[in-house]
Amino acid sequence: MTDLNATAMTACKDDQRPLGALSRPVDAEERLASAIRTILEAVGENPEREGLQDTPQRVAKMYLEVFGGLYEDPREHLKTQFSADQHHGAVIVKDIRFHSMCEHHLLPVHGKAHVAYLPAGGRLTGLSKLARVVEGFARRPQLQERMTDQVAQAMEDVLAPEAVLVVIEAEHMCMSMRGVRSPGSTTVTTVARGTWKHDHAARMEILSLLRG
């Protein structure tokens, strides 16, 4: 197993975003509230009117909640491990619902993640921990491709399985409520690692189970 402390700032291969935790600025809430006040003024609103008076503080808290995954290392969840000598097949957790925020527009992305791995040496993690890993990476300003990669990377780092497959299906509000205005379109991203990366037949079998 990889030493998480030593690799807390290990970069995701494709774009150098850390998998581990960032430190939260002490004045984060205050700065967020001030920024929201500026946005309201910039669109011509009056942040002092009754309905908006508490909005900056409320939105500041909301951002700290939806970006809460920045301040945790989701790999920590995978340290809950069990050994099971009898189980030699794949473990699949389907339909893990998540909400994230697109880093280009800071608009919501919502969808489902499906996670599968082939344990090595009978090393298993708790099923809920896979959902917690998805949640931890979702609660950050994200790219869907990066999030898919980060979930797979975390599993490789901590569980060292023989194979991993992560599939994410999501709808991006930046495509639905603005811009191209294409509601209902879904983006699907996949990452295969370990033996499933090259074993086409095994990958297709797991993919059909994941998406079936």
Does position 104 interact with Zn ion (CB under 5 A)? The reply is yes
12 assigned to a ligand binding site: no
Closer residue to Zn ion, CB minimum distance, 102 or 133: 102
Q: Is 151 helix (H, G, I), strand (E, B) or coil?
A: helix
Identify whether 99 is a catalytic site residue: no
> Please, are residues 118 and 196 in contact by the beta-carbon 8 Å criterion?
yes
Stretch that binds Zn ion, among 13-21, 66-74, 91-99, 169-177 (CB under 5 A): 169-177
The encoded tokens of residue 204 equal 């297709």
206 vs 212: CA distance, rounded Å: 10
Amino acid letter for position 7: T
Instruction: Report residue 15: phi and psi, to 5°.
Output: -145, 20
Minimum gap (Å) between residue 101 Cβ and ligand GTP: 10
CB atoms within 10 A of CB 135: 20
Nearest approach in angstroms of CB 97 to ligand GTP is 17
Ranges assigned E (strand) in the chain: 81-83, 91-102, 108-118, 123-125, 141-142, 163-172, 187-194
Q: Give the one residue of 105, 112, 123, 197 binding Zn ion; rule: CB under 5 A.
A: 105
- Least distance to ligand GTP, CB of residue 104, Å: 4
User: Is 110 known to be catalytic?
Assistant: no
**Number of C-beta neighbours around residue 201 at 10 A:** 8
Catalytically annotated residue among 72, 77, 102, 150? 102
Question: Could you confirm whether 81 is annotated as catalytic?
Answer: no
Q: Which residues bind ligand GTP (CB under 6 A)?
A: 102, 104, 143-145, 172, 174-175, 179-180
Contact positions toward Zn ion, by CB under 5 A? 102, 104-105, 174
Query: What residues are designated binding site for Zn(2+)?
Result: 102, 105, 174
